């Protein structure tokens, strides 16, 4: 912990991101830093044990640690929390708001990367990359490949949510799909809500019934957690591909597995799981109609630096 007169910024936990760029920015602005190892489990409760001096922190950079009211109790001088992600579901935002602690996220840092990854997953599913790879691995060739891709220019892409990432996916996918429809009540209600060219806003019922591919682009909130359940899936066409690059807890994974087994869903592709990292082998792995990647949609050489550095810059700017 470097001596300073401006205050202490703590890292709640160290993720796969290199904290050095953030530390360098903070030290250059006159702040000291300290790396902690706060619990990341969703069920964690209780006040953490801190090293001496940590309780004086005025700012916190959060990776996966759960920032509960008890954790905030341990930092009475805390003014700002910056997350290393677009989502803020690891922070009890309502408690932070009541205590006048600002919560800053990383909106826009990796919109292009996440949208590109979603499109890659969708194309891999539709073109049958997983069954194709498995066919070759088993010694088979064209005759043994039973998957039948559809022509993309005859399909409708549905976007559940039209924020930065949903809009970027629409831009990337527009030349490929026949039609792009989106449901987003916040965009629809905005007086000057901007809808990307080529996208039609529809209601939820129309989105679910019209989509050949449905891509999820909503945050994890009490209203959205578990929304993709069996009742939701029953409203989709049986040939729908569902893509999730948002948050794993939007989806009831058992419902996805049962819908796939019953032929009510064409494929499921995702970069997120309800529990991360998974405890053992995820129940959705191994099936030819499922493609999972290990929460890497945000990654690129550019975004990795921005993810590591931007939370520190946001804190510096806020504390000015």
**For 33-84, what is each residue's pLDDT tens digit?**
999 999 887 655 678 889 999 999 999 999 989 999 999 999 999 999 999 9
- Mean of pLDDT values over 253-265: 94
Q: What is the mean pLDDT of the chain?
A: 92
- Write down the catalytic residue from 164, 217, 247, 266: 247
CA 242 to chain centre: 15
pLDDT at 287 over 90: no
Higher pLDDT, 85 or 102: 102
Report the predicted TM-score, pTM, of the whole model to 2 decimal places: 0.81
What percent of the chain clears pLDDT 90, i.e. is strictly above it?
A: 79
Q: What pLDDT, on the 0 to 100 scale, is given for residue 45?
A: 65
Give domain 111-292's CATH number out of 3.30.160.20, 3.40.50.720, 3.40.640.10, 3.40.50.300.
Answer: 3.40.50.720
Are β-strands 179-183 and 156-160 bridged in parallel, bridged antiparallel, or unpaired? Answer: parallel
- Mean of pLDDT values over 178-191: 88
Identical fold between 8-109+301-319 and 111-292: yes
Q: How far is 54 from 159, CA to CA, in rounded Å?
A: 43
- Mean of pLDDT values over 292-304: 93
Is 295 an annotated catalytic residue?
yes
- Write down the catalytic residue from 70, 276, 283, 304: 276
Is 35 an annotated catalytic residue?
no
284 band by pLDDT with thresholds 50, 70 and 90: confident
- For domain 8-109+301-319, the CATH architecture is 3-Layer(aba) Sandwich (3.40)
Domain map (residue ranges) of the chain = 8-109+301-319, 111-292
Asked whether the bond before 105 is cis by omega within 30 degrees of 0, the reply is no
Which of 305, 309, 263, 251 minimizes the C-alpha distance to 287? 263
Q: What pLDDT, on the 0 to 100 scale, is given for residue 5?
A: 64
Q: How far is 67 from 92, CA to CA, in rounded Å?
A: 6
Helices and strands: H and E segment counts in the chain? 11, 12
Tens of pLDDT, residue by residue over 165-178, are 999 999 999 999 99
Which of 207, 281, 211, 205 minimizes the C-alpha distance to 239? 211
- Mean of pLDDT values over 241-269: 95
Q: What pLDDT, on the 0 to 100 scale, is given for residue 42?
A: 60
Is 217 an annotated catalytic residue?
no
pLDDT at 4 over 60: no
């Amino acid at each position: 912990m470097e001596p300073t007169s401006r205050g202490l910024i703590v890292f709640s936990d160290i993720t796969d991101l290199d904290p050095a760029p953030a530390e360098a920015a903070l030290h250059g602005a006159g702040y000291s830093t300290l790396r902690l190892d706060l619990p990341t489990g969703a069920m964690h409760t209780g006040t953490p044990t801190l090293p001496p001096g940590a309780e004086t922190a005025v700012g916190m950079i959060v990776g996966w640690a759960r920032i509960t009211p008890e954790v905030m109790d341990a930092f009475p001088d805390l003014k700002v929390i910056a997350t290393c992600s677009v989502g803020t579901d690891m922070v009890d935002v309502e408690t932070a708001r009541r205590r006048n602690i600002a919560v800053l996220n990383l909106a826009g840092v990796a919109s292009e990367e996440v949208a590109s990854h979603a499109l890659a997953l969708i194309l891999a599913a539709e073109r049958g990359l997983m069954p194709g790879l498995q066919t070759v691995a088993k010694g088979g060739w064209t005759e043994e490949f039973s998957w039948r891709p559809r022509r993309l220019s005859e399909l409708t892409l549905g976007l559940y949510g039209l924020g930065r990432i949903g809009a970027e996916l629409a831009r990337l996918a527009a030349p490929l799909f026949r039609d792009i429809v989106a449901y987003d009540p916040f965009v629809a209600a905005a007086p000057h809500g901007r809808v990307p060219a080529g996208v039609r806003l529809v209601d939820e019922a129309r989105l679910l019934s019209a989509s050949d591919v449905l891509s999820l682009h909503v945050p994890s909130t009490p209203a959205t957690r578990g929304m993709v359940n069996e009742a939701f899936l029953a409203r989709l066409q049986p040939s729908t591909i569902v893509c999730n690059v948002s948050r794993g807890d939007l989806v009831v994974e058992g419902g996805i597995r049962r819908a796939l087994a019953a032929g009510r869903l064409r494929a499921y592709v995702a970069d997120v799981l309800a529990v991360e990292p998974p405890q053992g082998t995820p129940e959705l792995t191994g099936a030819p109609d499922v493609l999972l990647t290990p929460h890497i949609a945000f990654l690129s050489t550019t975004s990795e630096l921005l993810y590591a550095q931007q939370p520190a810059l946001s804190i510096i700017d806020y504390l000015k």
